[in-house]
Amino acid sequence: MKKFRILLAFLLVVSFALEACNNSEKSTGSGDGKNNKESSKAAKLEIFSWWTGAGEEDGLLALLDLFSEEYPDIKVENAAVAGGAGTNAKAVLASRMQGNDPPSTFQVHGGEELNASWVAAGKMEPLNDLYESEGWNDKFPQDLIDMVSKDGKIYSVPVNIHRSNVLWYNKKIFEENGLQPPATFDEFFAVSEQLKDKGITPLALGDKEPWTATHIFENILLAKLGPDDYKKLWTGDISFKDDRVVKSAEIFAKMIGYINDDHSSRNWQDASQLVANGEAAMNIMGDWAKGYFVNDLKLKVNEDFGYVVTPETDGYFMVITDTFGLPKGVKNPDDVKKFLGVLGSVEGQDAFNPLKGSIPARIDAEVSKYDEYGKAAMDDFKASKLTPSLAHGSAAPEGFLTRVNQAVNIFVTQKDVDQFINALETAAQELK
Ligand code: BGC
């Protein structure tokens, strides 16, 4: 009996030791993908994004299905972290990257978010070979390739192009009140006054996550500075004390006078829903809102809801591109490249984008798969001046954006223009 207990204890110790080795191998996540075929085979393909729930998830699931059809033997893990515009996902990603535990691939906006955060820190593998072998170099617009490149090396693959400067409106409310969607700020305020008199909330906002208000502000800046000078704000060539920035803040304050009272307890979907239900007339949101209206709320484009560009931004296109790359040190780089291959293919883009509300990043996608809004956005993208979104990480580094979001959040309640401009000026130190 004693011998048996000793043997049992010995076996337990050995099995704990083996388990510990196994765990430490998992948690370091530092395999180079070449040395251990077994671990490469077993490693799941972990796709990290913030696309969960209403209006966000459908496109991703369609893309994952397509991938699994093509590669049934590769196990995929959908590791999405909820929160609009990456509110929570970006923080989770940052701590994983710092701990050398990257997901196999992750959602990242082209521009500063990719370059300043991850490429400059040496955390990403270049993908020029993949672009070469897939024949992609002339299949994406050069402007987009530039947004995901640094020093001639390409670091991620764009799955889509979203537009930030869109004003959505409830058709019935506008028709019943004999109103036209506003093209200028004066028109916006005139329409809003009439709606307010009728007891209808003119503008829906859900700034429980503050980026939604920054999203409105960036489009006022674009209108008042124009595309060239808007871009100079992020290089420090134009100061936030510029009269046109002050003017933008004043317009912003006035617009906030027309929002729903419960804005701070709503997220972007909840705010869009007010427009869908006819409780509010307009909202300013990226065209993922179209995915939400159509797929989740079953509304019809140009029947239930309409869209125009945000006031005074005709001919401009505020670009947001969601991209995926290959972090250094993942266990399964070949599987990641297979996933990127599908995501960058015509089929991949056309499975994802009609559901997501975005247009394909590729220039040769199948136009007939897109609705009226999508077709118009594709034409606009080609004909417009393109500008990078601040609220969605492309225009400026994350540290600056975090401070702007904080300043905007305070401004929405206090509407103190001087204080706001000072806060922006202080935040601008992050741009140096
Ligand atoms: C992303 C979109 C997403 C939106 C709301 C943006 O930053 O680029 O893909 O739908 O945030 O979460």
Q: Is residue 298 located within the same domain as residue 213?
A: yes
The 3 state secondary structure assigned to 290-310 is: HHHHHHHCCCCECCCEEEEEC
- Residue whose Cα lies nearest atom 12 of ligand 1: it is 84
Query: For residue 389, which atom of ligand 1 is closest to its CA?
Result: 7
Q: Is residue 153 located within the same domain as residue 289?
A: no
Strands of 305-309's sheet in order across: 201-204, 280-284, 166-170, 305-309
Q: Which residues contact 21 (CB under 8 A, 6 or more apart)?
A: none
Q: Is residue 178 located within the same domain as residue 309?
A: yes
- Residue whose Cα lies nearest atom 11 of ligand 1: it is 85
pLDDT at 124: 98
Last residue of a domain, one of 364, 384, 404: 384
- Residue whose Cα lies nearest atom 6 of ligand 1: it is 85
Give distance in angstroms: CA of 55 to centre of ligand 1. 10
- Residue whose Cα lies nearest atom 8 of ligand 1: it is 322
Query: For residue 83, which atom of ligand 1 is closest to its CA?
Result: 12
- Residue whose Cα lies nearest atom 4 of ligand 1: it is 85
Q: Is residue 282 located within the same domain as residue 424?
A: yes
- 37, part of any domain: no
Q: Is residue 236 located within the same domain as residue 359?
A: no
- Residue whose Cα lies nearest atom 7 of ligand 1: it is 85
Q: Is residue 97 located within the same domain as residue 214?
A: no
- 6, part of any domain: no
Amino acid at 227: P
- 47, part of any domain: yes
Residues with CB under 6 A from ligand 1: 50, 56, 84-86, 162, 286, 288, 320, 322, 392
- Residue whose Cα lies nearest atom 1 of ligand 1: it is 85
Q: Is residue 94 located within the same domain as residue 114?
A: yes
Give distance in angstroms: CA of 288 to centre of ligand 1. 7
pLDDT (tens digit, 9 = 90+) per residue, 183-233?
Answer: 999 999 999 999 999 999 999 999 999 999 999 999 999 999 999 999 999
Q: What is the mean pLDDT of residues 277-289?
A: 98
Residue that is written with structure tokens 């920035």 in the block = 245
- Residue whose Cα lies nearest atom 10 of ligand 1: it is 288
Give distance in angstroms: CA of 101 to centre of ligand 1. 24
Q: Is residue 147 located within the same domain as residue 171?
A: no
pLDDT (tens digit, 9 = 90+) per residue, 30-70?
Answer: 333 333 334 444 589 999 999 998 889 999 999 999 999 99
Which of 48, 148, 156, 162 to probe ligand 1 with, by most ligand atoms within 8 A of CB? Answer: 162
Amino acid at 218: E
Is the pLDDT score of 27 beyond 70?
no
Q: Is residue 91 located within the same domain as residue 150?
A: yes
pLDDT at 306: 98
- 3, part of any domain: no
- 196, part of any domain: yes
Last residue of a domain, one of 346, 361, 384: 384
Dump strand ranges (E) for 192-288.
Answer: 201-204, 280-284
Q: What is the mean pLDDT of residues 345-352?
A: 98
Query: For residue 162, which atom of ligand 1 is closest to its CA?
Result: 8
Residue that is written with structure tokens 């909330």 in the block = 201
Which of 148, 267, 272, 288 to probe ligand 1 with, by most ligand atoms within 8 A of CB? Answer: 288
Is the pLDDT score of 12 beyond 80?
no
- 24, part of any domain: no
Q: Is residue 142 located within the same domain as residue 189?
A: no
Which of 296, 319, 322, 394 to probe ligand 1 with, by most ligand atoms within 8 A of CB? Answer: 322
pLDDT at 2: 44
Q: Is residue 216 located within the same domain as residue 264?
A: yes
User: Which domain range does residue 229 map to?
Assistant: 163-318+390-431
Structure token pair of residue 161? 């192009």
Q: Is residue 281 located within the same domain as residue 406?
A: yes
Q: What is the Rg, in whole angstroms, of the alpha carbon atoms belonging to the chain?
A: 24
Specify the number of domains making up the chain.
2
pLDDT (tens digit, 9 = 90+) per residue, 93-102?
Answer: 999 999 999 9
pLDDT at 42: 59
- 8, part of any domain: no
**CATH classification of the domain holding 114:** 3.40.190.10
Q: Report the range of poorest mean pLDDT among 27-36, 82-91, 329-338.
A: 27-36
Give distance in angstroms: CA of 106 to centre of ligand 1. 13
- 185, part of any domain: yes
Q: What is the mean pLDDT of residues 134-155?
A: 98
Average pLDDT of the chain? 92
Distance CA 196, CA 124 (A): 51
pLDDT at 291: 97
